[in-house]
Protein backbone atom coordinates (compact mmCIF):
# COMPACT_ATOMS: atom_id res chain seq x y z
CA UNK A 1 0.00 0.00 0.00
CA UNK A 2 2.83 2.43 0.79
CA UNK A 3 4.42 1.76 -2.57
CA UNK A 4 1.14 2.52 -4.28
CA UNK A 5 0.35 5.58 -2.19
CA UNK A 6 3.50 7.58 -2.83
CA UNK A 7 3.27 7.48 -6.60
CA UNK A 8 -0.47 8.02 -6.68
CA UNK A 9 -0.20 11.06 -4.43
CA UNK A 10 2.60 12.48 -6.51
CA UNK A 11 1.27 11.78 -9.99
CA UNK A 12 -2.36 12.31 -9.02
CA UNK A 13 -1.73 15.65 -7.39
CA UNK A 14 0.38 16.82 -10.28
CA UNK A 15 -1.84 15.66 -13.09
CA UNK A 16 -5.29 16.16 -11.60
CA UNK A 17 -4.99 18.55 -8.65
CA UNK A 18 -3.12 21.43 -10.19
CA UNK A 19 -5.26 23.18 -12.73
CA UNK A 20 -6.51 26.69 -11.99
CA UNK A 21 -5.32 30.24 -11.49
CA UNK A 22 -6.96 33.59 -12.15
CA UNK A 23 -4.65 36.56 -11.88
CA UNK A 24 -7.70 38.79 -12.03
CA UNK A 25 -9.72 36.81 -9.47
CA UNK A 26 -11.49 38.81 -6.81
CA UNK A 27 -10.61 38.31 -3.18
CA UNK A 28 -13.63 36.04 -2.65
CA UNK A 29 -12.23 33.63 -5.23
CA UNK A 30 -12.96 32.08 -8.61
CA UNK A 31 -14.28 28.54 -8.92
CA UNK A 32 -13.50 25.91 -11.56
CA UNK A 33 -15.16 22.51 -11.70
CA UNK A 34 -13.67 19.43 -13.34
CA UNK A 35 -14.90 15.89 -13.87
CA UNK A 36 -12.48 12.95 -13.69
CA UNK A 37 -13.35 9.78 -15.58
CA UNK A 38 -11.71 6.39 -16.09
CA UNK A 39 -12.55 4.48 -19.24
CA UNK A 40 -15.41 6.90 -19.91
CA UNK A 41 -17.01 6.41 -16.46
CA UNK A 42 -17.15 9.44 -14.17
CA UNK A 43 -15.41 8.71 -10.88
CA UNK A 44 -14.78 12.07 -9.22
CA UNK A 45 -15.81 15.71 -9.12
CA UNK A 46 -13.24 18.40 -8.35
CA UNK A 47 -14.01 21.97 -7.31
CA UNK A 48 -11.19 24.50 -7.09
CA UNK A 49 -11.35 27.97 -5.59
CA UNK A 50 -8.62 30.58 -5.91
CA UNK A 51 -8.34 33.97 -4.24
CA UNK A 52 -5.58 36.52 -4.81
CA UNK A 53 -4.59 39.57 -2.82
CA UNK A 54 -1.69 41.71 -3.95
CA UNK A 55 1.17 39.39 -4.83
CA UNK A 56 -0.20 36.42 -2.86
CA UNK A 57 -2.54 33.59 -3.79
CA UNK A 58 -4.63 31.04 -1.91
CA UNK A 59 -5.81 27.93 -3.75
CA UNK A 60 -8.27 25.41 -2.27
CA UNK A 61 -9.43 22.17 -3.82
CA UNK A 62 -12.05 19.62 -2.78
CA UNK A 63 -12.72 16.29 -4.46
CA UNK A 64 -15.09 13.40 -3.89
CA UNK A 65 -15.82 9.99 -5.35
CA UNK A 66 -18.97 9.97 -7.46
CA UNK A 67 -21.10 7.84 -9.77
CA UNK A 68 -20.45 4.10 -10.12
CA UNK A 69 -17.12 4.47 -8.34
CA UNK A 70 -19.05 4.78 -5.07
CA UNK A 71 -19.95 1.10 -5.39
CA UNK A 72 -16.33 0.07 -4.79
CA UNK A 73 -14.92 3.03 -2.84
CA UNK A 74 -16.01 6.06 -0.91
CA UNK A 75 -13.76 8.92 -0.02
CA UNK A 76 -12.89 12.57 -0.31
CA UNK A 77 -9.85 14.75 -0.44
CA UNK A 78 -8.71 18.34 -0.09
CA UNK A 79 -5.65 20.20 -1.29
CA UNK A 80 -4.38 23.67 -0.45
CA UNK A 81 -1.55 25.68 -1.98
CA UNK A 82 -0.52 29.18 -1.00
CA UNK A 83 2.35 31.42 -1.94
CA UNK A 84 3.39 34.23 -4.23
CA UNK A 85 2.51 35.40 -7.72
CA UNK A 86 5.66 35.74 -9.82
CA UNK A 87 6.53 36.94 -13.31
CA UNK A 88 6.51 33.36 -14.56
CA UNK A 89 3.55 31.95 -12.64
CA UNK A 90 3.19 30.84 -9.04
CA UNK A 91 5.72 29.93 -6.36
CA UNK A 92 4.41 27.89 -3.48
CA UNK A 93 5.21 28.61 0.15
CA UNK A 94 2.92 25.98 1.65
CA UNK A 95 1.30 22.81 0.31
CA UNK A 96 -1.22 20.65 2.16
CA UNK A 97 -2.95 17.47 1.01
CA UNK A 98 -5.44 15.27 2.85
CA UNK A 99 -7.31 12.16 1.73
CA UNK A 100 -10.06 10.48 3.72
CA UNK A 101 -11.94 7.21 3.53
CA UNK A 102 -14.25 5.50 6.01
CA UNK A 103 -11.28 3.82 7.70
CA UNK A 104 -8.18 5.84 6.81
CA UNK A 105 -6.84 9.38 6.79
CA UNK A 106 -3.62 10.56 5.16
CA UNK A 107 -2.20 14.08 5.35
CA UNK A 108 0.91 15.75 3.99
CA UNK A 109 2.17 19.29 4.66
CA UNK A 110 5.22 20.89 3.06
CA UNK A 111 6.80 24.33 3.33
CA UNK A 112 8.83 26.10 0.62
CA UNK A 113 11.15 29.10 0.74
CA UNK A 114 12.49 30.71 -2.43
CA UNK A 115 11.88 27.52 -4.38
CA UNK A 116 13.48 25.22 -1.83
CA UNK A 117 11.26 22.60 -0.20
CA UNK A 118 11.44 21.32 3.36
CA UNK A 119 10.90 17.71 4.34
CA UNK A 120 7.18 17.08 4.44
CA UNK A 121 5.23 16.26 7.58
CA UNK A 122 3.29 13.05 6.93
CA UNK A 123 0.51 11.47 9.04
CA UNK A 124 0.73 8.53 9.47
CA UNK A 125 4.52 8.56 9.22
CA UNK A 126 6.09 6.63 6.37
CA UNK A 127 7.72 3.36 7.37
CA UNK A 128 11.44 2.96 6.67
CA UNK A 129 11.96 0.93 3.53
CA UNK A 130 15.33 0.35 1.79
CA UNK A 131 13.49 0.18 -1.54
CA UNK A 132 12.64 3.87 -1.34
CA UNK A 133 15.02 6.21 -3.18
CA UNK A 134 16.45 8.76 -0.74
CA UNK A 135 15.58 12.43 -1.19
CA UNK A 136 18.68 14.64 -0.99
CA UNK A 137 18.90 18.35 -0.30
CA UNK A 138 19.72 18.98 -3.95
CA UNK A 139 16.46 17.28 -4.96
CA UNK A 140 14.53 19.81 -2.87
CA UNK A 141 16.14 22.82 -4.55
CA UNK A 142 14.53 24.78 -7.41
CA UNK A 143 11.15 23.07 -7.04
CA UNK A 144 7.46 23.88 -6.78
CA UNK A 145 4.42 22.10 -5.41
CA UNK A 146 2.22 19.92 -7.65
CA UNK A 147 -0.51 22.56 -7.89
CA UNK A 148 1.41 25.76 -8.49
CA UNK A 149 3.74 24.13 -11.01
CA UNK A 150 0.98 23.61 -13.56
CA UNK A 151 -0.01 27.25 -13.89
CA UNK A 152 1.71 28.65 -16.98
CA UNK A 153 2.35 32.27 -17.82
CA UNK A 154 3.36 33.53 -21.23
CA UNK A 155 2.85 36.13 -23.90
CA UNK A 156 0.62 34.03 -26.17
CA UNK A 157 -1.21 30.72 -26.52
CA UNK A 158 1.41 28.97 -28.63
CA UNK A 159 3.88 26.11 -28.62
CA UNK A 160 6.35 28.02 -26.46
CA UNK A 161 4.11 27.29 -23.45
CA UNK A 162 5.02 23.62 -23.71
CA UNK A 163 8.78 24.09 -23.87
CA UNK A 164 9.53 23.66 -20.18
CA UNK A 165 10.15 21.07 -17.49
CA UNK A 166 8.09 21.17 -14.30
CA UNK A 167 10.27 20.30 -11.29
CA UNK A 168 7.90 19.11 -8.60
CA UNK A 169 8.50 18.22 -4.96
CA UNK A 170 5.57 17.10 -2.83
CA UNK A 171 7.39 16.85 0.50
CA UNK A 172 7.98 13.12 0.15
CA UNK A 173 8.76 12.69 -3.55
CA UNK A 174 10.63 14.65 -6.23
CA UNK A 175 9.80 14.13 -9.88
CA UNK A 176 10.06 16.09 -13.12
CA UNK A 177 7.45 16.55 -15.85
CA UNK A 178 9.16 17.51 -19.15
CA UNK A 179 6.64 18.94 -21.63
CA UNK A 180 6.79 19.27 -25.41
CA UNK A 181 4.54 20.91 -28.00
CA UNK A 182 2.19 18.72 -30.07
CA UNK A 183 -0.32 21.00 -31.81
CA UNK A 184 -2.64 23.99 -31.57
CA UNK A 185 -6.29 23.08 -31.98
CA UNK A 186 -9.80 24.18 -30.96
CA UNK A 187 -12.03 22.94 -28.15
CA UNK A 188 -15.58 22.74 -29.48
CA UNK A 189 -17.62 20.54 -27.13
CA UNK A 190 -20.64 22.37 -25.72
CA UNK A 191 -20.58 19.99 -22.73
CA UNK A 192 -17.38 21.54 -21.40
CA UNK A 193 -16.75 24.85 -19.71
CA UNK A 194 -14.73 26.38 -22.55
CA UNK A 195 -14.87 26.55 -26.33
CA UNK A 196 -11.94 28.08 -28.15
CA UNK A 197 -8.25 27.65 -29.01
CA UNK A 198 -6.11 25.28 -26.95
CA UNK A 199 -2.49 24.16 -27.08
CA UNK A 200 -1.74 20.47 -26.66
CA UNK A 201 1.41 19.47 -24.79
CA UNK A 202 2.80 15.99 -24.30
CA UNK A 203 4.22 15.20 -20.86
CA UNK A 204 6.51 12.60 -19.35
CA UNK A 205 6.88 11.50 -15.73
CA UNK A 206 10.50 11.25 -14.59
CA UNK A 207 10.93 9.96 -11.03
CA UNK A 208 13.91 11.48 -9.23
CA UNK A 209 13.65 10.45 -5.57
CA UNK A 210 11.23 9.53 -2.83
CA UNK A 211 9.62 6.76 -4.91
CA UNK A 212 9.98 3.00 -4.52
CA UNK A 213 12.23 1.41 -7.13
CA UNK A 214 10.09 -1.72 -7.35
CA UNK A 215 6.76 0.14 -7.56
CA UNK A 216 4.81 -1.07 -10.58
CA UNK A 217 2.84 2.16 -10.89
CA UNK A 218 6.03 4.26 -10.81
CA UNK A 219 7.53 2.08 -13.52
CA UNK A 220 4.33 2.33 -15.57
CA UNK A 221 4.19 6.11 -15.32
CA UNK A 222 7.87 6.46 -16.16
CA UNK A 223 7.48 4.35 -19.30
CA UNK A 224 4.18 5.89 -20.42
CA UNK A 225 4.12 7.86 -23.65
CA UNK A 226 0.45 8.80 -23.29
CA UNK A 227 0.28 11.80 -20.97
CA UNK A 228 -1.36 14.82 -22.58
CA UNK A 229 -2.47 18.21 -21.34
CA UNK A 230 -4.46 20.85 -23.22
CA UNK A 231 -3.98 24.47 -22.11
CA UNK A 232 -6.47 27.29 -22.55
CA UNK A 233 -6.09 31.05 -22.00
CA UNK A 234 -7.63 32.54 -18.89
CA UNK A 235 -9.21 35.59 -20.53
CA UNK A 236 -6.52 38.26 -21.01
CA UNK A 237 -4.75 37.61 -17.69
CA UNK A 238 -1.58 36.23 -19.30
CA UNK A 239 -2.08 32.94 -17.47
CA UNK A 240 -2.90 29.60 -19.07
CA UNK A 241 -4.67 26.75 -17.28
CA UNK A 242 -5.42 23.12 -18.15
CA UNK A 243 -8.60 22.58 -20.11
CA UNK A 244 -8.15 18.82 -20.24
CA UNK A 245 -5.67 16.22 -18.95
CA UNK A 246 -5.45 12.69 -20.35
CA UNK A 247 -3.36 9.76 -19.13
CA UNK A 248 -3.47 6.18 -20.36
CA UNK A 249 -3.70 3.33 -17.85
CA UNK A 250 -4.39 -0.39 -17.77
CA UNK A 251 -7.94 0.49 -16.62
CA UNK A 252 -8.57 2.75 -19.62
CA UNK A 253 -7.91 6.43 -20.22
CA UNK A 254 -7.93 8.63 -17.13
CA UNK A 255 -9.34 12.01 -18.14
CA UNK A 256 -9.96 15.30 -16.36
CA UNK A 257 -11.93 17.98 -18.20
CA UNK A 258 -13.15 21.45 -17.27
CA UNK A 259 -16.96 21.56 -17.07
CA UNK A 260 -17.52 24.99 -15.49
CA UNK A 261 -15.53 28.16 -14.82
CA UNK A 262 -17.00 31.07 -12.90
Give dist(CA 162, CA 148) in Å, integer: 16
Q: What is the mean pLDDT of the chain?
A: 82
Q: Please give the pLDDT value at position 66.
A: 61
DSSP string, 218-256: HHHHHH---EEEEEEE-TTSSEEEEEEEEE--TTS-EEE
Give dist(CA 256, CA 182) in Å, integer: 19
- The yes-or-no verdict on residue 198 having pLDDT over 50 is yes
Selection from 62, 63, 17, 1 nearest residue 170 by Cα = 17
Domain boundaries, the chain: 2-261
Is residue 65 helix, strand or coil?
A: strand
Q: Please give the pLDDT value at position 75.
A: 63
- The yes-or-no verdict on residue 160 having pLDDT over 50 is yes
Give dist(CA 39, CA 41) in Å, integer: 6
Selection from 247, 170, 178, 249 nearest residue 211 by Cα = 170
Please tell me the pTM assigned to this model.
0.84
- Higher pLDDT: 209 or 252? It is 209
Encode pLDDT of 101-111 as tens digits: 777 888 999 99
User: Could you tell me the end-to-end alpha-carbon distance of the chain, in angstroms, rounded to an integer?
Assistant: 38
Of the spans 85-94, 196-205, 217-226, 251-260, which averages the highest pLDDT? Answer: 196-205
Amino acid sequence: MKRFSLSVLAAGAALFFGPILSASAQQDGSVASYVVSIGGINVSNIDIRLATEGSSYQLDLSADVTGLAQVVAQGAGSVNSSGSLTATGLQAQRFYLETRTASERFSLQTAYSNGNGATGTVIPALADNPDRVAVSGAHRSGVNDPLAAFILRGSALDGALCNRTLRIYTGIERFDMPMSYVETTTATSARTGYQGPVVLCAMRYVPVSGHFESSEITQYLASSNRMLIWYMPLADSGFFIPYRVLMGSSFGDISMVLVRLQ
